[in-house]
Amino acid sequence: MPPTIIVEKEGLLPLSSYRTQGKPWSFSKAITCLIVALTCTCTSFYLLGVLEFPELSFSEEDDVSSLAHLCPQPPALTPSVHADLWQDLGSSLQTEEFVNRSVDWLAGAVRIPTQSYDKMGPINEDERWKAFEPFHDYLQSSFPKVHSVLTVTKVNAYGLVYEWIGSNRDLKPLLLAAHQDVVPVNPDTLDDWVHPPFSGHFDGKLLWGRGSSDDKNGLIGILSTIEVLIEKGFNPRRSIVLAFGFDEEASGLYGARFISYHLLDKYGKNGFAMLVDEGGDYMEEYGKVIATIGTAEKGYFDVRVEVESPGGHSSVPPEHTTIGILSALVAHIEKNPYKPHLGRGTPMYEKALCMAAHLPELPKPLREALQKAPTSDSALHEAEAILFKDKLFKALVGTTQAVDLIQGGVKTNALPESAWAVVNHRIATDSSVAAVQDRDTEVVLSLAQEFNLSVTAFGKQLSGEGVPAYGKLVLSDAWGASLEPAPLTPTGDAAAYQLLAGTVKATYSSHRGLDDTDDVVVSPGHMSGNTDTRYYWQLTPHIFRYNHHFTGKNSLFQDIHTVNEFISVDAYIEVLRFFTTLILNVDESSAL
C-alpha cells in the first residue's frame, strides 16, 4: 500500500461507540426534526435519536438467518483432485519444523531493507535502487526449487516475473502479485521500535520488522508455498505467474507499470484467469468474523488551484492579494465537501448488506434500514446516516477532498503575483476524474468571478475571455497523475469470485480445525488506497485485493506503515495455507 493511505483496514466500524452514548433525545432535536419534516434527512435525525437509547437499539445477538439473501455466501471450497496433497500440506504446516522454516524465510527477507522513497530517480541514476540486489540474491538462495523450476524475468531491472508453466497451455494462468519494497523507516522513530525495524526478530509468537505484514508476508508467502509444492511433486495444469513490483509504496511507476507492459505484451488483454494481490483482510466485527475482498479501488486526483494577479509594491496594496483570494477559495472549498452517497451496487453497499445479513450484533436500526435499502430510497438514506457516523466508512464511500499543499509569496514588501494550493481527492468508486473536475470548477466559479478573475479549468477557458479581468484562476491536474476508480471486479455468481470466497472459507475453517465453514462471512469491499493492481486492469477483470491476513479485533488494530510492524506467526501460517488452498483450487477449477 502506498504511504498516503490513512488506514488500510476498512473493516473497522467503531459504531460500537454508540453503545456508551446514553443521552436522551433532546427537545430541541425533536423540534429540528419537525422543522425538517418530510425531507429525507428527517428520518435520519429520527434514527440518530433512537440510536442514543442503547437499550432500545441493541440486542445482544440477532437471529439473522432470514437475511442471507442480502449477501449470499458461496460454499467453502476444498481441493478434491488434490485432496490428499492438500491434507498432507495442511498437517505439515502446523509442525514446529515447518513453522521454524517459514519464520526463517520471512525473517531473512525482512532483514534486507528494501525501502522505496517518493520521487526516486530513474533506475540507473538513483543508487538507492541497488537495495534490491541483495534481496534478489536472497530469494535465489532461499528458494532453490522455485528458481530451478520457474523461469524468472527481471523487468526494468528489479521487477520480478516468475512463470510456472502448466501442462495445459489453453488455460489462462493465475496471476499472483506482491511487492518487494517497504515503506521507509523514519530515522527519528528508531527509538520507538521495540525491536529494530530490520531485525526480523522472532519472539516465539510475533515476527517483527518493516515489511513483515506489508508485503513481504505476501511475497515470501507465495514463494514458500510454491517451494513446498514443488518439493511435494506438484505440477500445475494451469500456469501460474508471479508479479513482484518494487516501488508499490511510491506508486509503482518503475515496477508494476513496467511489469504490466511486459505481461500485456506476452499474455494479451484479459490474458489471465484471475489476479490476487495484497489488500483486504479479515477481522472480527459485531460478533462474527468478516473477510473483505477488495473488489474495487478509489480513484485519485490532485487538483492545483492557482491564483494570479498583478504584482507591485506592498505599500500600495489592493484590497485582496493572491494569497487572500486563494485563502477565500480554500475556505469555500472546505465549506463545500462532497456529499457521499452509498450507491446501490457499489462494493461498500454490498459490504453493508453483508454486515446486515450476517453480523449478529450489528445495531438493530442499521440492520433494519439495510434490509429495506435494496428497494427503498428512504431506508437507504437511513442506513447512510448511521454508517456515515463512522468517519472511515464515510471516507471509503464518497469522494474526499483535502487541501494538502499551499504556497505563495516571496518577500514581505512585494505583492505575491501568484499563490497556489493542491487539493487531494480520493474518488468514489462510482464517480470519475471528469466528475471531480466539473464539481471542483462549479464550487469555485462564482467566487472567482466575484474577485474579478478569469477562470481556466482543466484546459478550458470558462469565463473572462476577451473581457478585462483583475487576475486569473487556473485549475489543473497538479502532476498529470490522476487515476480513475478501478473497474469493479465481478462478484456474486462470477466463478473467480466464488472460487476465492470459497477458498477463504476453507482456509479459515481448516486452519482452526472447524467443521462449520460458515464461521467466516466473505464480502466485497475496498480499501482507501491503491495497490500495484492500478496497472493491471487490462490483464483480467477478476482482480482481487486480498491476502487473508487476520487483523484481530478492532482494538488490536495497528497501522502497518508506522513503527513496530509485526505479524503473528499463527496468522502467517494461515497465509501460507491460504496460498496453498488457492493454488490447488485454481488448478483444478473447470469454471475459470
Which listed option, ligand NAG, Zn ion, none, makes contact with residue 215 (CB within 5 to 8 Å by class)?
Zn ion
State the CB neighbour count (10 A cutoff) for residue 62.
Answer: 18
In whole angstroms, give the CA distance from residue 27 to residue 574. Answer: 53
| Annotated binding-site residue? 249 | yes
Name the minimum Å distance from CB 256 to Zn ion.
11
Name the minimum Å distance from CB 221 to ligand NAG.
19
Name the minimum Å distance from CB 552 to Zn ion.
18
Residue 503 CA: distances (Å) to CA of 99, 243, 291, 381, 387: 22, 21, 11, 34, 29
Q: Determine the straight-line distance between the first and last CA of the chain, rounded to whole angstroms.
A: 28
Tell me, rounded to whole angstroms, the distance of Cα 580 from its chain centroid. Answer: 24
**Please, which residues bridge with residue 592 across strands?**
none
Which listed option, ligand NAG, Zn ion, none, makes contact with residue 100 (CB within 5 to 8 Å by class)?
ligand NAG
Which CB sits closer to ligand NAG, 93 or 175? 93
| Annotated binding-site residue? 465 | no
Say whether 484 sits in a helix, a strand or coil.
coil
User: Which one of 8, 10, 181, 281 is the catalytic residue?
Assistant: 181
The correct pick among 96, 127, 170, 515 for binding ligand NAG (CB under 6 A) is 96
Name the minimum Å distance from CB 95 to ligand NAG.
7
- Per the CB < 8 A criterion, the answer to whether 293 and 582 are in contact is no
Burial status of residue 559 (CB atoms within 10 A of its CB: 0-12, 13-18, 19 or more):
middle
Residues 271-310 that bind Zn ion (CB under 5 A): 278
Tell me, rounded to whole angstroms, the distance of Cα 151 from its chain centroid. Answer: 30
Q: Is the previous residue joined to 440 through a cis bond, with omega within 30 degrees of 0?
A: no
Taking residues 423 to 452 in sequence order and writing x for each that binds ligand NAG by CB under 6 A, - otherwise, the string is -----------------------------x
Burial status of residue 490 (CB atoms within 10 A of its CB: 0-12, 13-18, 19 or more):
middle
- Per the CB < 8 A criterion, the answer to whether 589 and 581 are in contact is no
In this chain, which stretch among 92-100, 242-250, 301-309, 475-483 interacts with ligand NAG, using CB under 6 A? 92-100
Backbone torsions φ then ψ of 151, nearest 5 degrees: -90, 145
Which CB sits closer to ligand NAG, 501 or 569? 569
In whole angstroms, give the CA distance from residue 333 to residue 567. Answer: 41
Query: Left, alpha or beta for 150 (phi > 0: left; psi -120 to 50: alpha)?
Result: beta
Which CB sits closer to ligand NAG, 234 or 470? 470
In this chain, which stretch among 94-102, 186-194, 249-257, 359-367 interacts with ligand NAG, using CB under 6 A? 94-102
The correct pick among 214, 281, 308, 350 for binding Zn ion (CB under 5 A) is 214
Name the minimum Å distance from CB 114 to Zn ion.
12
Which CB sits closer to ligand NAG, 89 or 453? 453
Q: 248 catalytic, yes or no?
A: yes
| Annotated binding-site residue? 277 | yes
Residue 524 CA: distances (Å) to CA of 42, 247, 517, 521, 559: 30, 26, 18, 10, 22
Which CB sits closer to Zn ion, 3 or 360? 3
Instruction: Give me the helix-helix angle, 96-110 and 216-231, nearest 10°.
Output: 140
In whole angstroms, give the CA distance from residue 119 to residue 272. Answer: 31
**Please, which residues bridge with residue 521 across strands?**
290
Name the minimum Å distance from CB 578 to ligand NAG.
23
Taking residues 173 to 212 in sequence order and writing x for each that binds Zn ion by CB under 5 A, - otherwise, the string is ----------------------------------------
Which CB sits closer to ligand NAG, 262 or 472? 472
Return the half-sphere exposure (C-beta side, CA atoms, 13 A cut-off) of residue 38. Answer: 1
Which CB sits closer to Zn ion, 278 or 587? 278
Which CB sits closer to ligand NAG, 17 or 100? 100
Nearest in space to 591 (alpha carbons), one of 238, 212, 277, 257: 238
User: Which one of 247, 248, 350, 361 is the catalytic residue?
Assistant: 248
Residue 77 CA: distances (Å) to CA of 166, 275, 358, 502: 22, 18, 20, 4
Residues 452-481 that bind ligand NAG (CB under 6 A): 452, 468-470
**Please, which residues bridge with residue 523 across strands?**
292
In this chain, which stretch among 93-101, 120-128, 364-372, 584-592 interacts with ligand NAG, using CB under 6 A? 93-101
Which listed option, Zn ion, ligand NAG, none, makes contact with residue 1 (CB within 5 to 8 Å by class)?
Zn ion
Q: Is 1 in the site for Zn ion (CB under 5 A)?
A: yes
Residues making up the chain, counted from first to last: 592
Q: 63 catalytic, yes or no?
A: no
Residue type, 564: N
| Annotated binding-site residue? 404 | no
- Per the CB < 8 A criterion, the answer to whether 361 and 286 are in contact is yes
| Annotated binding-site residue? 561 | yes
**Interface residues toward ligand NAG, by CB under 6 A:** 96-97, 100, 452, 468-470
Annotated catalytic residues are 181, 248
Going by the annotation, the residues of the binding site for Zn(2+) are: 179, 214, 249, 277, 561
**Interface residues toward Zn ion, by CB under 5 A:** 1, 214-215, 278
Going by the annotation, the residues of the binding site are: 179, 214, 249, 277, 561
